[in-house]
Amino acid sequence: MRATLIYGAGDVRVEDVPDPAIRQPTDAVVRVLRSCVCGSDLWPYGSKPASEQGARIGHEFLGVVEETGKEVSGLGRGDIVVAPFVWSDNTCDFCQEGLQTSCRHGGGWGADGVDGGQGEAVRVPQAQGTLVKLPVGEDSALLPSLLTLSDVFSTGHHCAVAAGVGPRTTVTVIGDGAVGLSAVLAAKRLGAERIILMGRHKDRTDLGLDFGATDVVAERGEEGVEKVRELTGGDGTHTVLECVGLKAAVDTAFGVVRSGGTVSRVGAPQYSDVPMDSSLFMRNVTLTGGVAPARAYIEELLPDVLDGTVEPGRVFDRTVDLDGVPDGYRAMADREALKVLIRP
Amino acid sequence: MRATLIYGAGDVRVEDVPDPAIRQPTDAVVRVLRSCVCGSDLWPYGSKPASEQGARIGHEFLGVVEETGKEVSGLGRGDIVVAPFVWSDNTCDFCQEGLQTSCRHGGGWGADGVDGGQGEAVRVPQAQGTLVKLPVGEDSALLPSLLTLSDVFSTGHHCAVAAGVGPRTTVTVIGDGAVGLSAVLAAKRLGAERIILMGRHKDRTDLGLDFGATDVVAERGEEGVEKVRELTGGDGTHTVLECVGLKAAVDTAFGVVRSGGTVSRVGAPQYSDVPMDSSLFMRNVTLTGGVAPARAYIEELLPDVLDGTVEPGRVFDRTVDLDGVPDGYRAMADREALKVLIRP
């Protein structure tokens, strides 16, 4: 089959690779209907050292079950399924607590003999725990929105849930990328009345307004902090959803959080330390979040996607086939595209 | 009257100062029955630059109301009261949320014309919101335990509450000072079954065992982290209560926290940054805590102190009069005394 490999910064190729096959009785093989490029894929695309050996890439996909191992029950050939962005047994203590990203028998896509998501098919370990069946057909118009359950919408939701967003909380979302916009949508879905979106790309913040943002702050850094404080009577917001991953975004988050409030981070951290000094101590500010256990949320979010209450798939503004994947990466890196959908 | 002033590192004096008097209609004047030295007082005692001008010090006290301003209701001459370690109106939005340390009309003791707690009497601003009446007499044997509601036991409780300690959580407490031991007691009171106390002073950790610790780890740093991991099947504990305030203690906390778990800090931070890198992100570790809004907890903790269910006053192992305060500081700084009670 054909699949995407990354050889280094700016060097993504689509090549022939071995067809996936059942190796363990808990595996399934899934033919990919839709995949996509993640903002986090842009970090290696921006900086990975060049290598002779390409690495498989892609961790978001939705597809059709082609084959299952002997120990997989509840899933069969022809089922349409979505895969969260890590695989997990969904039975260990961490999984039972809703932290499938720390599953004792789980792992990531595209490593250790497991296929990446940006290809024609994937061998899925722990298939019974990992895959969630979707009550739609191969040609459903909902596939893009359903695919976001794999990562981007679930990540926005995790960010908001970890922060404690609810009807009585005010929210600042930092970042107008696909995760930031998903966080806006998730915060709105959880009942937040005030959602301030910090971003400076008008086409993106316009989608944020559609998703439920009540205010947009285009300013960054100190100026942005002051603007949010102005909008909130000087106090800042109860929760801040950090959807970028850069140190500057974390600094902004601490600047706009209300005393007693929570900064929740889901931007893959491109920093090692954060400021947590006496002033944040005196203000009882909490820092939470992390990689989203998407698997924990799919059943909860699914009905609202199926009935159109939320349309998280609107973050996709370009569609490519497999041959178009390298240009899809380029377009996202150049901010020509917000998020690229792949139809293999 | 006589009160304690700090002139710099190692230089604490007891001197004559003006008698407190009502200045605002919301004030009260309280004659101090018991005060004490806080672990956080040792930071200026260790490093404050020398000054010609002494600064009032002490923020924990319990006493008798001598006089109240015209707008103070519910309190009268002769009432025995405890003061939390910041004063607050207890009516603003932050106070109503239980964050009296961020009160819009509150402040600290020993600054801006407000007396410190380590003296014969104190003018209490926002007296109606700040002071809590105690149903005991001036000679009650419970006074030391009741005094801990002012700060140290409430701080231990805040640390445990912010961390989410309950019957199903395992706990590591870092630090065997009075706050750490109070955190052990608070965690036990909240139902934690497993409480690992990290500390290396046997007399203190013995009290910790009395307070409910199930394990003591004397090792520090990497060795201490490994020991806690050994005790927990490699996982660490759901919650970690950081009761020291040094960077090394925070590093240890992140080392022993279970994935998905929470580090709660109440040690006054002697650091500005903390590590919050990709590995903690992948593990969904939360950092919470801060200065304790003791006022929020006093009514809740009071019954258990009054009926002897908890005896947080056991952290006091030395009693001095006002003349003995300088030596009390020295004894705590030299770790001769765990916590010094003051009877003016």
Question: Do both B180 and B278 map to the same domain?
Answer: yes
Question: Do both B145 and B272 map to the same domain?
Answer: no
Q: What is the rounded radius of gyration, in angstroms, for the C-alpha atoms of chain A?
A: 20
Mutate to test the interface with A, among B258, B286, B291 (most CBs of A within 10 A): B286
Nearest to B260 among A97, A275, A281 (CB): A97
Interface contact A290-B284, CB threshold 8 A: yes
Question: Do both A214 and A182 map to the same domain?
Answer: yes
Measured from the Cβ of residue B116, the count of other Cβ atoms closer than 10 Å reads: 24
Question: Do both B198 and B274 map to the same domain?
Answer: yes
Interface contact B288-A283, CB threshold 8 A: no
Which residue in chain A has the smallest CA separation from B273? Answer: A275
Question: Do both B30 and B142 map to the same domain?
Answer: yes
Q: Which of A289, A315, A331 is the last residue of a domain?
A: A289
Chain B residues touching A284 at Cβ < 8 A: 99, 101-102, 162, 288-291, 293
Question: Do both B80 and B185 map to the same domain?
Answer: no
Q: Which residues of chain A have pLDDT under 70?
A: none
Interface contact A260-B102, CB threshold 8 A: yes
Question: Do both A273 and A301 map to the same domain?
Answer: no
Interface contact A288-B293, CB threshold 8 A: no
What per-residue confidence (pLDDT) applies to A181?
Answer: 98
Interface contact A290-B280, CB threshold 8 A: yes
Mutate to test the interface with B, among A284, A288, A295 (most CBs of B within 10 A): A284
Q: What is the mean pLDDT of chain B?
A: 97
Task: Please give the C-alpha separations between residue B56 and each of A214, A312, B112, B288, in angstroms, as whole numbers.
Answer: 48, 58, 10, 30
Question: Do both B163 and B280 map to the same domain?
Answer: yes
Nearest to A273 among B97, B274, B285 (CB): B274
Residues of A with CB under 8 A from a CB of B: 94, 97, 99, 101-102, 162, 259-260, 265, 268-269, 271-278, 280-291, 293
Number of inter-chain CB pairs under 8 A, A vs B: 103
What per-residue confidence (pLDDT) applies to B238?
Answer: 98
Sign of CA dihedral A82, A83, A88, A94: negative
Query: Which among A337, A322, A316 has a CA at the least distance from the CA of A141?
Result: A316
- Which tens digit of pLDDT belongs to each residue from B20-50? 999 999 999 999 999 999 999 999 999 999 9
What per-residue confidence (pLDDT) applies to A152?
Answer: 98
Nearest to A283 among B102, B162, B278 (CB): B102
Question: Do both A327 and A239 map to the same domain?
Answer: no
Domain assignment of residue B279, given as a range: 156-289
Q: Which of A289, A313, A331 is the last residue of a domain?
A: A289
Question: Do both B209 and B304 map to the same domain?
Answer: no
HEC sequence for chain B: CEEEEEEECCEEEEEECCCCCCCCCCCEEEEEEEEECCHHHHHHHHHCCCCCCCEECCCCEEEEEEEECCCCCCCCCCCEEEECCEECCCCCHHHHCCCHHHCCCCEECCCCCCCCCCECEEEECCHHHHCEECCCCCCCCCHHHHHHHHCHHHHHHHHHHHHCCCCCCEEEEECCCHHHHHHHHHHHHCCCCEEEEECCCHHHHHHHHHHCCCEEECCCHHHHHHHHHHHCCCCCEEEEEECCCCHHHHHHHHHHEEEEEEEEECCCCCCCEEECCHHHHHCCCEEEECCCCHHHCHHHHHHHHHCCCCCHHHHCCEEECHHHHHHHHHHHHCCCCCCEEECC
Mutate to test the interface with A, among B95, B270, B281, B288 (most CBs of A within 10 A): B281
Question: Do both B102 and B202 map to the same domain?
Answer: no
Question: Do both B119 and B56 map to the same domain?
Answer: yes
What per-residue confidence (pLDDT) applies to A164?
Answer: 98
Residue A195 is part of a domain; what is its CATH number? 3.40.50.720
Residue B28 is part of a domain; what is its CATH number? 3.90.180.10
Smallest CA–CA separation between A263 and chain B, in Å?
10
Q: Which residues of chain B have pLDDT under 70?
A: none
Q: Count the residues in chain A.
A: 344
Beta bridge partners of A242: A174, A265
Question: What's the number of domains chain B is made of?
Answer: 2
* Unique residue bearing structure tokens 């102190």: B305
